[in-house]
Structure 1
Amino acid sequence: MKHFALAAVSTLALSAMAQAEDITLRFWDNQQTESGLSQYQQAAVDRFMEENPGITIEVTTVPYPEYQQRLLTAVQGGNAPDIATLDQIWVAAFAEAGAVADLSGMAGAAGLSRDGFFGGAWDSAVYNDGLYGIPFNVDVWQFSFYNKDLLDAAGVDPASLTTFDGLKDAAAKLTGNGKFGVGLFGHKGEDTVVVANSFIFSNGGKVLNDDGSCGLAGPEAVEAMSYLQELAQYAPEGILNASSGDMRELFLNGSLAVEFWPALEQPTLKTSNINWDFANGTAPEGRTPVGTFGGWNLAVFESSAHKEAAWKFIEFMVREDVNGDVVDLIPANKAAATTFLAANREKPEAIMAHLEAASPRPLSAHYLEVADIQMRLYQDVYSGADVQQAADAACKEIDALN
């Protein structure tokens, strides 16, 4: 009886010890569906917990419009999650505030490097020589989706859409009789910024120079914005209030010939009656189009008491055999992306090429202020303002942020 009691005590002690060693990680993510995580991402979380029985993942999903502020409030209140997905454009601000951990050492020890991910996506997590996230999923603005029937009727070669001169000439031929050549939009939204950026990047321009100063008044950027100003005459009216979603509706009803959108558009187009295809952005003759990266990085918060376990979760989520099953965009792991695109997208090789050439938006702790200034600048451009003067004024504002 005593032996039994002793054994029972020992068992209880071991059980208590095991429970003490169990770890619960709080993971915050952008809300992807009405129920929170997508079914695929929830399946991955469950799979991780099966592979790591001592670690429980507690998931919180937050709608995008309120996500960043919720994270900031949690950090300020000392209640940050262990892990969260961060929009690429948020990383610098969280890093500057010391809220997220530098993952350079962990990534190096695990053999994770820029070579295994899309370079521009990896660069979006690098700030002041530290690595403050691991790329999770990506897409690129812009692909030029086009209505093949409208191009055929106008005698436009789809290959011409990849050059500045070719796109403008095509837009002129495609505009008229209730049809519009290009789906430019200029409302105060991030989609306006990323499309304009892609034209600037493709022309060799920059939003911010390497020293952090404003690059929008440089000749390459001004030339690209002047081009967009000319191109706007072939877009639907009301450009200053129009969004990418508005252009999608026009494209789907057959009145818009060329729409600017990321590869995420493909599933919608596949269910439509439009005879569509796409080209990889637009650049001056002889240049490779450079798109603007969008996507999310996985970050560990500095306040986490379980950084090693949190890293284990991140490493799992970006693993080649997992990453393609859990993303709603395109896997950031290049090997996983190759498989994912072949199974889920038309012309996967073209998409891969555009992803390889894409650039991140500027890494700035003041990114949201920079983007707001850009939105106003692009609205001025589409309103017909003198581009150089408008760019000079915008740069004065941006440089005053530092």
Structure 2
Amino acid sequence: MRKWLVLTFIVALLALSACGNEEAAKKDSGNKDDEITVWAMGEEGKLLKQLTDKFEKDNKGLKVDVQAIPWDSAHDKLLTAVASGNGPDILQLGTTWVPEFAEAGALLDLTEYMEEHPEFAAENYFDGAAEIMQYDDQIVGIPWYVDTRVLYYRTDILEEAGYDKAPETWEELQDAAKKLADRGEGHYGIDIDQNDQIMPFIFAWQNGYEANLEESKLNFDTPEFLGAMEYYTSFFKEGSSQVEQGEDIIQAFANGKKPMFFSGPWMVNIINEQAPDIEGKWAPAVMPGNETNASSMGGATLSIFHNSENVENALKFLSYMNETETQLEWLDISNTLPSKLESWEDPILQDDPMYSVFGEQLKKAKAGLQTEQFERIAQELLSALERVNAGGADLEKEIEQFNKTAQDLLEE
């Protein structure tokens, strides 16, 4: 069943559950006044217990029950929780999920608590993260950690191509990619993951594109958006990027066949662990730009479930997770980046050459389209671009049809 049908079903169930299932939900969930239940996803769920011990010590009598949920089953579990009204006190959401679950009524509006908790004020976070906190006029989550895309490049191979530093503009990136692809058969200039739904939007933002969701205008028919898609597809058209998936990017990066690619902070440790032979021969860099050098704001938020009966203690836990000391400890535990601007003043982040690149890029990181239809819209765009890159379809016609489809999705 498509997600939009499921959400329609959820809204109906929510209305029914509000009529008489609150006590049953409380009993089934096992919620207690002295226990905070937290649903955290993937590795974060497994690691979070290392932070909860200190919280429990500082808050005698309070317990934190962390349930680690695999990412591949998290979405369905959350949908079930919304439908039944039987959820946790606190739940972790990926940034692209926030509008969907806010629209479904799953997230408590924190607006009335903001005066008591000035530490949650939007100005404490990167602009892109602060944007994700809000849905319509509600505050629906607190940024937990952040990530963003940057350019990874082989410093040694780029130097051989005439670049003693990373490309800084669209023109330089395109030129460097062409020169690197011309090294011979099987070599490419840059890897662009055609399954990465945020990359086309990053190029669009860099070219001056903006949506106007307040007036329900996606603006995919503008010169800024079309020009960005022309730039995106040019790498495949010119042979600078491989149309087929090809070999694993870490292997291709290590052997030099793909000396540039876009990715997030998690790649630092992966490269260090899987490609130790190229230590000192690669680096991350802020995005090459056109009108701007924008990138995307990713990461996760922590929200309070709409019918939690333990809101006061849940807010205590969110406040604890928001402390600079806690965020820096979480950085050490999980290698994920702090959401709070104050945390980035610490020498651990300021003085590290790789962390500092991400800190700089996060200042220009933008939230994805804040609509519950974002993932469907993004997938429609990837399909259109694939038809151009792999099938030779006409770009202008594909974008024209995509704009109509996306606009219809927005208006459902």
Normalising by structure 1, report the TM-score: 0.86
Cα displacement string for residues 114-136 of structure 1 (whole angstroms, at most 9, x for unaligned residues): 21111101101211111100000
Tell me which residue corresponds to 2:384: 377
Unaligned regions of 5+ residues in structure 2, if any? 1-30
1:277 aligns with 2:283: yes
Distance 1:390 1:104 in 2: 42
Offset at residue 88 of structure 1 (A): 0.8
Separation in 2, partners of 1:341, 1:202:
30
1:172 aligns with 2:183: no
SS of aligned partner of 2:360: helix
User: Any residues of structure 2 matched to 1:80-91 within 5 Å, and which?
Assistant: 80-91=87-98
- Match runs of 1:341-352 below 5 Å: 342=349, 345-352=352-359
Q: 1:116 aligns with which of 98, 118, 124?
A: 124
Q: CA deviation at 1:301?
A: 0.7
Percent same amino acid among aligned pairs? 25
Q: Using a 3 Å threshold, how does the CA distance of structure 1 residues 385 and 248 change in structure 2: closer, same or farther? A: farther
How far apart, CA to CA, are the structure 1 residues paired with 2:60 and 2:200?
47
Contact 1:324 1:337 in 2 (8 A): no
Aligned to 1:24: 35
Deviations 1:158-180 (A, max 9, x none): 24x12111111111111132321
- Conserved in 2, the CA contact under 8 Å of 1:226 and 1:381? no
Query: What is the Cα deviation at residue 208 of structure 1?
Result: 5.9
Bigger radius of gyration, 1 or 2? 1
* Residue 102 (structure 1) aligned with residue 109 (structure 2): yes
CA distance in 1, matches of 2:374, 2:287: 24
Q: Take 2:124 and 2:368, find their aligned partners in 1: how far apart are those partners? A: 20
Q: Distance in 1 between matches of 2:251 and 2:240?
A: 14
Matched letter for residue 82 of structure 2: V
Report if aligned partners of 1:202, 1:290 keep a CA contact under 8 Å in 2. Answer: yes
SS at match of 1:298: strand
Tell me what 2:25 maps to. Answer: none
Structure 1 residues 269, 297: CA separation in 2 closer, same or farther (over 3 Å shift)? Answer: same
CA contact (8 A) 2:384 2:402 kept: yes
1:64 counterpart residue number: 71
Distance in 1 between residues matched to 2:377 and 2:138, nearest whole Å: 22
Question: Are residues 22 and 70 of structure 1, via their aligned partners in 2, closer, same or farther at CA, if it must alter by over 3 Å?
Answer: closer
2:319 is paired with a residue of what secondary structure?
Answer: helix
Q: Is the 8 A contact 1:124 1:360 kept in 2?
A: yes
- Tell me the distance in 2 between the aligned counterparts of 1:316 and 1:357: 27
Output the CA distance in 2 between the equivalents of 1:323 and 1:168: 38
CA distance in 2, matches of 1:181, 1:71: 41
Distance 1:152 1:339, change over 3 A: same
Distance 1:30 1:103 in 2: 22
Let me know the Cα RMSD of the aligned residues: 2.2
- After TM superposition, list the pairs within 5 Å mapping 1:185-334 onto structure 2: 185-187=193-195, 192-206=196-210, 209-232=213-236, 233-239=238-244, 241=245, 246-271=248-273, 272-274=276-278, 275-284=281-290, 287-327=291-331, 328=334, 329-334=336-341
CA displacement at 1:210 relative to structure 2? 4.3
CA distance in 2, matches of 1:63, 1:204: 37
Contact 2:49 2:66 in 1 (8 A): no
Contact 1:225-1:381 within 8 A present in 2 as well = no
The Cα of 1:374 is off from its aligned counterpart by 2.2
Deviation, structure 1 residue 247: 2.4
CA–CA distance in structure 1, aligned partners of residues 256 and 124 of structure 2: 40
**Aligned residue among 38, 41, 46 for 1:37:** 46
| Distance across 1 between alignment mates of 2:32 and 2:215 | 47
CA distances 1:101-157 after superposition (whole Å, capped 9, x unpaired): 11122233211212111110110121111110000011112x111111111222224
CA distance in 1, matches of 2:121, 2:33: 30
Aligned partner of 1:16 in structure 2 is none
CA distance in 2, matches of 1:214, 1:302: 29
**Residues 48-59 of structure 1 aligned to structure 2 (within 5 Å):** 48-59=55-66
Task: Please tell me whether the aligned partners of residues 198 and 378 of structure 2 are also in contact (alpha carbons under 8 angstroms).
Answer: no
Aligned mates of 1:199, 1:338 — CA distance in 2: 29
Query: What does 1:125-140 align with in structure 2 at a 5 Å threshold?
Result: 125-140=133-148
Question: Alpha carbons of 1:106 and 1:344: their partners in 2 closer, same or farther (altered >3 Å)?
Answer: farther
Q: How many residues align?
A: 368
Q: Residues of 1 paired with 2:398 and 2:212: CA distance? A: 16
Aligned to 2:363, the other structure's residue is in SS state helix
The verdict on how the C-alpha distance between 1:325 and 1:381 changes in structure 2, with shifts beyond 3 A counting, is farther
Which residue number in structure 2 is paired with residue 397 of structure 1?
Answer: 405
Cα distance in 1, alignment partners of residues 233 and 56 from structure 2: 53
Paired position in structure 2 for 1:146: 153
Unaligned runs of 5+ in 1: 1-19
